[in-house]
Structure 1
Amino acid sequence: MTPEDIQHEIRAIKQALQRAQFLLANERVDHLLSTSLSEQQRLEVHYLAAVTHRMAKQYDEAFRHIDVLLSLSPDYGRAYQELAYCHEAKGNGKEASSAFFKATHFNPALISSWKKLLSIYQRHNDVTAVQMATKQIAHLQSLPAPVLGAYDLMYEKQFAAAEQVCRQFLTKHKHHPEAMMLLAEIGMQLKVYSDAEFLLESCVELYPDNEKAALAYQNVLSKLGKFPEAVQVARQRLEHNPTSFSIKTSLAHALVGVGQLDEAITVYRDVLAENPDRPKVWVSLGHALKAKGDTPDAVSAYEKAIDYASDYGDAYWSLANTKTYKFSDALLAQMSEQLNSNAIKLEDKIHVCFALGKGLEDRGEASKAFNYYQQGNSLKRSTLQFDIARTEEALNAQQRAFSSEDFNKVEGCQAPDPIFIVGLPRAGSTLLEQILASHSKVDGTMELHDILGIASSLSHQKTPYPLNVNALDGETLEKLGARYIEQTRAYRQGAPLFIDKMPNNFIHIGLIKKILPNAKIIDARRNPMDCCFSGFKQLFGEGQEFSYSLSDIGRYYKAYEKLMDHWHAVLPGEILTVQHEEVLDDLEGQVRRILDFCGLDFEEACLAFHQTKRVIKTPSSEQVRQPIYKTGMGQWKPFEVYLSALKEALGK
């Protein structure tokens, strides 16, 4: 069937439901399910099947289709709403309440579910929950119908349709604040961050008293890694509302982003002194303490979060993500208990799975550990719209865009300041950063977003990025390089050179060498099985969407190798590949090699890198605060029987 035929059938099912023609609707559903459907189409048809059977009071069949829906998309809000209606019809009040709550959690635009929850909260005399639900219902009812509809589409991940509805509304109601914020949120979901930033900046200028717009603007600045600007916005907001809990915590988050950890920790502690029952803030405090190197206090903060919310998955994962914490029998049992609870939220379940995997791996229970890693990765991947083939094509486009004739040392900003450390996550880049940052002439910073931001700003032209880079004139290239140097200045401490450790910058080496021809580039490599399996075990805060499937991560590694081979071919001598295992075997030899490539004299401090005090925000922070050790090598081997998909993708 053509897509048009499928849409015609779907409309026919909806018409049959409106006429209570359940038998006809069910026949058309069965016919569609027997054909080849896209994932989105299959979701929609199973949803209509669940509605059909519920309205026909065939609840067992409805439950069956809902089970399929939630296996395909465990964060599908409308599926939970249907589940709640079915439980309600069957007299399962507790299960219905839980499902209505999950429906509003995943799709906050579902007014019907909010109204059901309001009735439940009123029956239980839960004053705080009643106020919250009443406020949300009033907000949703105040929205123009197209904006509410677009919100619903966005929460159900129909981003293109949501964007179309929103843009159509804005053509007739220019500068409508809710529509502008919604369009920005859609842009964030589609990773068109520069458009989202422009929309929210405009919204804040037009509506300076709109607190929701100001918070959204600050969030997009943080997402773009523009933490200095985020700090400025937060401080301005705090002047007008000095007692706001949300503004204080957002200021602390931005301060962590620029490395002002002492002030951030003070803000978090002041907030928690007034509001101790805030598990999310305890975890944020833990992250700041961990970045500072105060691991015992970080662990205490994470454990405090668990004391206040035993189902808060991020707290368990944060403990596991110190890489040095060992879970007690009691905590392992508590995590297992939470995982088996029907009330656990999806994101908490994902975090607990990864934490249990780490806890059991530490005990040598590879089989059980892998089951939890696999479950966590499968759940996480089901919430993403990631296609490895599209990523492979994007990396191939970089190879088509740049040849050796496209590079020279004359154009672009001539500043020699940046040292880019690139590669895959978990490849040893934090160790290289710590070694270099121990040198007196090098500032360590963090994983900076600025090159990604420049690439994004070039993506919406007539000729798309990266094919348009070589058409940029010398003046533009110089300005882009100077912009990068200026934007990153807030993260530096005054040394002549500084490190940008964003691993994904390997994709943009062509752009980097066009706008910053004197930049140094170091490619951090690690044994592919160790690197890929370590990535598979890691739950990333954001991005790295290729890492939640063994096949995807193997294919990504191969595409990375292929692109790096291309960069070496077109930029001979401009990139230094450093093999992690060689650093472990010959630290001084590799340190001298790295310093020589960067034009730096040898300093003993680089060998004693673990003694260097600095902000480190990556998962490896505790590992690089210790002397060199080799226990990370071969960690995949106890899991080898489960890694055939990875081996196949790597061609091993």
Structure 2
Amino acid sequence: MQNTHQDINAILKSARQAVQQGQFASAIDTINNALPGTHEDAASSNEPKQDTHVSEQANDLQQDTHLNVKAKVELLYLRAVALRLSQHFTQAIEDTHTILSLRPDHGRAFQEQAYSYKALNQHRQAASAFYQATRFNPALLASWQQLLAIYQQQNNARAESLAQQHISFLTSLPKPVLGAYDLMYDGQLAAADSVCRRYLQQHNHDAEAMVLLAEIGMKLKAYHEAEFLLESCVALHPEHERAAVSYQGLLARLGKYPQAKTFAEKRLQNQPDNFTLQVAYANALVGVGELAQAIDIYRSLLESNNDRPAVWLSLGHAYKAEGDRKAAIECYETAAQLMPEFGDAYWSLANTKTYPFSDAMLETMAEQAARDDVGLEDTIHLCFALGKAYEDRQDYPAAFEHYHRGNTLKRATIDFDIARTEAAMAAQQEACQKDLFARKAGCDDPAPIFVVGLPRAGSTLLEQILASHSQVDGTMELHDILTIASRLSGQQTPYPFNLASLTDDQCRRLGELYIEQTQAYRQGAPFFIDKMPNNFIHIGLIKRILPNAKIIDARREPFACCFSGYKQLFGDGQEFSYSLSDIGRYYRAYENLMDHWHTVLPGEVLTVQHESVLDDLEGQVKRMLDFCGLPFEAECLSFHETKRVIKTPSSEQVRQPINRSGTKQWLPFTEYLTTLFTALDQFPESSR
């Protein structure tokens, strides 16, 4: 069907007009014809029906099996509004449940649900739904006002004060800014961006609008612009706390921990007792590897108040990075005991990869995951933790059920289209041909060793092996290449096509910028590792600005790699990993792009197969060292004895001698992985 998008817009416009004019039955009829499953009783009315043209469009849409989730959600939301306003409350609630099954973070659906519960005098359910509405869309002023009344009736002074603070903040915002916040939380990022920019054109350097535009930019992954906005905002408005908090958080998110540490130190001079700021400072210290000082801060905060689950979690992460598994586990267990629904505490235990969950803890986790009043993020974390716990017990049906639920919930909260990613990788192939690299430009520093590939492909193991060499510093997953790519994306000729127009001087300066920014993570060795897996997409950029850099591709057998990624709840990014189809297509696109790099950059990328490392550790170690121009050192074979900060999910695994325990973990799940095999266009031998 060719004009689906236009038809959806026409139907939505017709339904909105009908709602605005009080013609609720007409709106419901319009939407019923566009969606399978109608509310015919609610639609019966003497009000006029929609025109024939819109009706024909709706019939076309109903036959279109590819009606996208966003369109379904918009149609269902409008129908829920019309049903509630026509006093069909139970049916309106049914629609909100359907919306939330598709978009579990849809704040306005919770608000609609709450109004209908309130009309039915189901006050407990209404209060819970209003609360969820504000969690997912903090700009919903009406929900905050409803909560304020509820808290006043309950004499809940603390909650009442919090609600009043939010109401005061929202009512203080200019209407366009408040509207843009609402649009952003509702997932309408382009519209929010447009409204905010128009307001800033009329009110230059308005602090709230700058903070909001930066937040929208972060959601759109325009990190360079977001950083510039917040850096400018804190310079122009040094007393604006929300701008400072946002900037601090963005620096951490971008992995710019040295800058985050310096900024926190500066803020602490004026606010030495600010709890949130002390936590942010400790987090930055962990980021730069100053673990002892970070642990002291966390401990100090807990001494003044032991009931802080999130601080216990952060302390556990610091101990884990340090290699103190026992202390980390004790912290995670304490966090879970203090807050039984705290999903991240259980996931952190599962993410040690070796923690045995007791029967009692497994029962607690299952109870919490089944509750409908537990937060979405907690539920997602619980599902992944339960998946790991059941897998360890060899209860594979239960394990996959929870992995699937966790991934489905997570996938529904992100705006990801695998086709866009495939197109971005295809653009790299189109833009980066052999002639682009005909002569070496850029910074000639040979220090960087990039380890790239897919997550869960063995890159941390390769990093640990190389970092055991006396001439190589291990660092972490550095964001600097991604930041430079983002910076280039904002130019008139889009990235990566503008790589060809970069002058030698521009390439040199970008390479020097990278070397300068990564200096803070080094300890003085001649070479250092940048282990950001996603950098495989940007090998063309790397070779333009750092022509002497070494690039190692950590490759793993596709079934094992993809399923391991599917089981992993990542802290940020890796959106492709939450669907078996997406992750299979991503792996194929990655293979195609790596084949391209080998063609246009012959001999410049070394592929290291994970299974080969397991079979012949010494041979593969010598091969990597030869590629990097490094002499053999036996310490690289005893990599598990190397003491260094490691913050990836594989931290505990690379502190053990080489083993093959993870090579066939997908096999017991074979019956559930048909979607993955189809996306990969590869099938296990037994299923052929």
- TM-score of the superposition, structure 1-length normalised? 0.98
CA distance in 2, matches of 1:271, 1:626: 33
- The aligned residue for residue 21 of structure 1 is 23
Q: What letter corresponds to residue 23 of structure 1 in structure 2?
A: A
- The aligned residue for residue 32 of structure 2 is 30
Cα deviations across residues 102-152 of structure 1 (Å, max 9, x unaligned)? 000000001111111111111221111111100000100111111111000
SS of the counterpart of 2:489?
coil
SS of the counterpart of 2:217?
helix
Structure 1 residues 537 and 3, CA gap change in structure 2 (3 angstroms): closer
Asked whether 1:214 is paired with 2:244, we answer: yes
Contact 1:430 1:624 in 2 (8 A): yes
Asked whether 1:394 is paired with 2:396, we answer: no
- The aligned residue for residue 666 of structure 2 is 636
**Candidates 102, 108, 113, aligned match of 2:143:** 113
**Candidates 567, 578, 587, aligned match of 2:608:** 578
SS of the counterpart of 2:529?
strand
CA distance in 2, matches of 1:372, 1:490: 40
Contact 1:51 1:82 in 2 (8 A): yes
SS of the counterpart of 1:259?
coil
Asked whether 1:57 is paired with 2:59, we answer: no
Q: How far apart are residue 60 of structure 1 and its match?
A: 2.1
- The aligned residue for residue 45 of structure 2 is none
Cα deviations across residues 23-68 of structure 1 (Å, max 9, x unaligned)? 2222222234345354333222211111111121212211221121
Number of residues of Structure 1 aligned to a counterpart in Structure 2: 652
**Candidates 468, 473, 478, aligned match of 1:443:** 473
Asked whether 1:75 is paired with 2:77, we answer: no
Q: What letter corresponds to residue 447 of structure 1 in structure 2?
A: E
Query: Within 5 Å, which residues of 2 pair with 1:44-443?
Result: 44-408=74-438, 410-443=440-473
Q: How far apart are residue 417 of structure 1 and its match?
A: 0.3
Q: How far apart are residue 310 of structure 1 and its match?
A: 0.4
CA distance in 1, matches of 2:175, 2:226: 22
Unaligned runs of 5+ in 1: none
Greater relative CO (CA pairs within 8 A, separation 6+): 1
Structure 1 residues 19 and 470, CA gap change in structure 2 (3 angstroms): closer
Unaligned runs of 5+ in 2: 36-57, 62-66, 683-688
Contact 1:523 1:577 in 2 (8 A): yes
**Candidates 579, 586, 593, aligned match of 2:623:** 593
Q: How far apart are residue 408 of structure 1 and its match?
A: 4.7
Q: What letter corresponds to residue 27 of structure 1 in structure 2?
A: D
CA distance in 1, matches of 2:450, 2:660: 25
SS of the counterpart of 1:600?
coil
Q: What letter corresponds to residue 598 of structure 1 in structure 2?
A: C
Q: How far apart are residue 100 of structure 1 and its match?
A: 0.7
Contact 1:409 1:518 in 2 (8 A): no
Q: What letter corresponds to residue 181 of structure 2 in structure 1?
A: Y
CA distance in 2, matches of 1:553, 1:414: 36
Q: How far apart are residue 219 of structure 1 and its match?
A: 1.2
Q: What letter corresponds to residue 561 of structure 1 in structure 2?
A: E
Q: How far apart are residue 420 of structure 1 and its match?
A: 0.4
Q: What letter corresponds to residue 225 of structure 1 in structure 2?
A: G
Give the stretch that moved more between structures: 423-432 or 22-31: 22-31
Contact 1:521 1:576 in 2 (8 A): yes
Q: How far apart are residue 295 of structure 1 and its match?
A: 0.8
CA distance in 2, matches of 1:364, 1:219: 40
SS of the counterpart of 1:468?
helix
Q: How far apart are residue 13 of structure 1 and its match?
A: 3.0
SS of the counterpart of 1:597?
helix
Give the stretch that moved more between structures: 273-282 or 332-341: 273-282
CA distance in 1, matches of 2:509, 2:183: 39
CA distance in 2, matches of 1:329, 1:47: 41
CA distance in 2, matches of 1:24, 1:363: 54
Contact 1:409 1:517 in 2 (8 A): no
Q: How far apart are residue 12 of structure 1 and its match?
A: 3.9
CA distance in 1, matches of 2:76, 2:111: 14
SS of the counterpart of 1:578?
strand
CA distance in 2, matches of 1:557, 1:10: 37
Contact 2:90 2:116 in 1 (8 A): no
CA distance in 2, matches of 1:125, 1:60: 30
- The aligned residue for residue 51 of structure 2 is none
CA distance in 1, matches of 2:604, 2:215: 39
CA distance in 2, matches of 1:576, 1:135: 56
CA distance in 2, matches of 1:216, 1:48: 34
Percentage of pairs with the same residue = 60
Structure 1 residues 311 and 53, CA gap change in structure 2 (3 angstroms): same
Q: How far apart are residue 523 of structure 1 and its match?
A: 0.6
Q: What letter corresponds to residue 213 of structure 1 in structure 2?
A: A
Cα deviations across residues 605-649 of structure 1 (Å, max 9, x unaligned)? 111111100000000000000111111111100000111111111
CA distance in 1, matches of 2:435, 2:12: 53
CA distance in 2, matches of 1:423, 1:187: 26
CA distance in 2, matches of 1:27, 1:563: 48
CA distance in 2, matches of 1:586, 1:580: 10
SS of the counterpart of 1:488?
helix
- The aligned residue for residue 539 of structure 1 is 569
Q: What letter corresponds to residue 16 of structure 2 in structure 1?
A: K
Asked whether 1:10 is paired with 2:12, we answer: yes
**Candidates 614, 619, 626, aligned match of 2:656:** 626
CA distance in 1, matches of 2:6, 2:327: 59
Contact 2:352 2:652 in 1 (8 A): yes
Q: How far apart are residue 462 of structure 1 and its match?
A: 1.2
CA distance in 2, matches of 1:443, 1:3: 52
CA distance in 2, matches of 1:322, 1:6: 47
Q: What letter corresponds to residue 220 of structure 2 in structure 1?
A: L
Contact 2:440 2:544 in 1 (8 A): no
- TM-score of the superposition, structure 2-length normalised? 0.93
CA distance in 2, matches of 1:51, 1:460: 39
**Candidates 520, 523, 526, aligned match of 1:496:** 526
Q: What letter corresponds to residue 397 of structure 2 in structure 1?
A: S
Give the stretch that moved more between structures: 536-545 or 80-89: 80-89
- The aligned residue for residue 511 of structure 1 is 541
Cα deviations across residues 287-342 of structure 1 (Å, max 9, x unaligned)? 11101101111111111111111001111101000111111101110011001112
CA distance in 1, matches of 2:375, 2:264: 30
CA distance in 2, matches of 1:8, 1:377: 33
Asked whether 1:609 is paired with 2:639, we answer: yes
Cα deviations across residues 573-608 of structure 1 (Å, max 9, x unaligned)? 111111111111111111111111111111111111
CA distance in 1, matches of 2:377, 2:416: 18
Cα deviations across residues 471-519 of structure 1 (Å, max 9, x unaligned)? 1111110111111001000000000000000000000111101111110
Cα deviations across residues 522-564 of structure 1 (Å, max 9, x unaligned)? 1101111000000000000010000011111011011101110
Contact 1:408 1:517 in 2 (8 A): no
Q: What letter corresponds to residue 393 of structure 2 in structure 1?
A: R
Q: What letter corresponds to residue 53 of structure 1 in structure 2?
A: L
Asked whether 1:649 is paired with 2:676, we answer: no
CA distance in 2, matches of 1:398, 1:2: 30
Q: How far apart are residue 2 of structure 1 and its match?
A: 6.2
